[in-house]
């Protein structure tokens, strides 16, 4: 980018401005649908460990630490796979990274079905997690860089809502299998189904375009122009080679000579953004992995049969499809920052009520609030995090955030949950987790900025007034 002329910069910003005015059309919907399908397949793969653990606990006579190791092994792989994946996504492209990750996790999920003991299952789940780490954040990157600023949260919310659908599918599949297939065969069948994601590779190769902002950074302006003109023709919008956003153009001009490295994330103003946005993402992860991986087991311990626990969990997860889609849309209309805060308060209230001496209706409402709200936070928290960084750092910043938060929530807490639950009881443990999740949203409540309704060039800049929280708060009080 150092040799980019002022004319080239104007041409680049013109393409971005035209992209940001693009309405939701058939091509954009196809991109959202493809990324949503990727999430369905990967979430099915990640969540499949919940019914597998429910079946294996008695089949293999697992001890609490064995359950913790199996439950956290895949997430450990995700954590380790995230950081190199971020650099790969920034250097070689979002699409390439996505396809490579799908191949890895689908192959090793299928192979894990043939595990003969805990060690073999741990190894396969860990390697599958490495591939999942390369996949999960990429749709957030693509959607944040593809969809215009007024519909970005809605698109992410719609695609992300399919995660709950996918998690519900694997528990429903397990519920339908139990009683008809021996337990030692049932969990193997579920893992084989999880390996079917590899069929998405040719579809992605043909129909999913690369991020236009990444292509511009790589100097491939002709490809972006062809894509933008194709989108304009689909929407019936005339080509406008003069359209420009002066603020975004200033950002591109001033950022041209600013090199970026991993260390940049720990320098002002990005250090503050890292702390605020990572803690905001950690807040739902504190409870998300616990209820996703141990949900059926938790309900089983509360008195439900194994099949009923799976059915109940499926119902709760299907509920999250609605809550997540609504949350994404409201984040666009009002504020992603306030949406995160309100939803996590609701999640904490629901979680602290679980296993308390309340009525059956109270338990149902508490579970619905816990599952429904915690899933709904993710399109807001992950998109908010992606909006904190410029294109040259977005992949790295997002992957680091996913790495840190998933390690703490999906490895440490998932491993400790069955052990702590046996010692202190689930009611006290859920209350503790609820308090921790509330502590994590304090920084975004006190120092977070508004990103809804602003381009990613504006929200991600570290230059001048656009980087100042005060300016963003003025925008937020004015309605964004």
Interval 53-74 mean pLDDT = 88
pLDDT at 255 over 80: no
Q: Helices 360-386 and 391-406, interaxial angle, to 10°?
A: 150
Q: Do the beta carbons of residue 9 and residue 256 sit within 8 Å? A: yes
For position 360, what pLDDT does the model report?
79
Cα-Cα end-to-end distance for the chain: 32
For position 39, what pLDDT does the model report?
79
Q: Using one digit for the tens of pLDDT, what is the confidence trace for 130-175?
A: 999 888 778 877 887 888 777 878 887 877 787 778 778 878 888 8
Q: Using one digit for the tens of pLDDT, what is the confidence trace for 316-326?
A: 989 998 999 99
Percentage of the chain beyond pLDDT 90 is 34
Interval 264-271 mean pLDDT = 87
Q: Where are the domains of the chain?
A: 9-236+264-477
pTM for this model (two decimals): 0.73
CA 389 – CA 39 distance, rounded (Å): 23
CA triple 235-460-238, angle to 5 deg: 20
Interval 15-41 mean pLDDT = 86
**Phi, psi of 358, rounded to the nearest 5 degrees:** -120, 170
Q: Using one digit for the tens of pLDDT, what is the confidence trace for 302-311?
A: 778 888 888 8
Q: Is 181 helix (H, G, I), strand (E, B) or coil?
A: strand
The CATH class that applies to domain 9-236+264-477 reads mainly alpha
pLDDT at 463 over 60: no
**Phi, psi of 181, rounded to the nearest 5 degrees:** -130, 135
Neighbouring CB atoms inside 10 A of 436's CB total 17
pLDDT at 183 over 70: yes
Alpha carbon dihedral 273, 277, 280, 284, in 10-degree steps, equals -160
């Amino acid at each position: 980018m150092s040799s980019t002329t002022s004319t080239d910069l104007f041409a680049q910003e013109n393409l971005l401005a035209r992209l940001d005015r693009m309405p939701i059309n058939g091509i954009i919907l196809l991109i959202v649908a493809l990324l949503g399908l990727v999430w369905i397949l990967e979430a099915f793969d990640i969540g499949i460990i919940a019914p597998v653990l429910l079946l294996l606990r008695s089949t293999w006579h697992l001890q609490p630490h064995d359950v913790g190791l199996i439950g956290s092994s895949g997430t450990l792989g995700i954590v380790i796979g995230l950081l190199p994946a971020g650099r790969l996504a920034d250097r070689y492209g979002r699409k390439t990274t996505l396809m490579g990750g799908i191949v890895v996790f689908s192959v090793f999920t299928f192979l894990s079905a043939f595990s003969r003991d805990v060690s073999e299952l741990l190894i396969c789940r860990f390697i599958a997690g490495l591939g999942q780490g390369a996949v999960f954040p990429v749709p957030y990157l693509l959607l944040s860089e593809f969809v215009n600023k007024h519909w970005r949260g809605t698109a992410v919310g719609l695609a992300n809502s399919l995660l709950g659908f996918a998690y519900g599918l694997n528990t429903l599949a397990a519920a339908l299998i139990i009683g008809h297939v021996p337990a030692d065969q049932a969990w193997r069948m579920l893992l084989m189904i999880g390996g079917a994601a590899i069929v998405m590779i040719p579809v992605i190769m043909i129909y999913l375009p690369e991020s236009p902002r990444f292509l511009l950074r790589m100097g491939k302006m002709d490809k972006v122009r062809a894509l933008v003109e194709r989108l304009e023709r689909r929407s019936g919008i005339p080509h406008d080679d003069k359209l420009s956003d002066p603020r975004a153009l200033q950002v591109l001009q001033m950022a041209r000579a600013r090199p970026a490295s991993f260390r940049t994330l720990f320098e002002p103003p990005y250090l503050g953004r890292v702390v605020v946005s990572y803690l905001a993402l950690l807040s739902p992860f504190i409870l998300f992995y616990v209820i996703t991986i141990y949900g059926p087991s938790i309900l089983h311990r509360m008195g439900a049969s194994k099949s009923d626990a799976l059915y109940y969990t499926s119902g709760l997860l299907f509920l999250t499809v609605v809550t997540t889609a609504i949350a994404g849309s409201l984040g666009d209309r009002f504020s992603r920052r306030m949406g995160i805060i309100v939803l996590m308060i609701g999640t904490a209230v629901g979680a602290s009520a679980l296993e308390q001496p309340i009525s059956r209706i109270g338990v149902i409402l508490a579970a619905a609030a816990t599952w429904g709200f915690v899933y709904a936070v993710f399109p807001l928290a992950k998109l908010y995090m992606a909006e904190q960084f410029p294109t040259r750092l977005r992949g790295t910043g997002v992957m680091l955030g996913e790495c840190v938060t998933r390690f703490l929530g999906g490895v440490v807490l998932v491993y400790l949950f069955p052990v702590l639950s046996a010692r202190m009881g689930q009611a006290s443990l859920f209350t503790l987790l609820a308090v921790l999740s509330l502590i994590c949203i304090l920084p975004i409540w006190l120092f977070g900025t508004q990103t809804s309704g602003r381009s990613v060039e504006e929200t991600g800049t570290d230059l001048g007034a656009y980087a100042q929280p005060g300016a963003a708060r003025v925008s937020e009080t004015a309605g964004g």
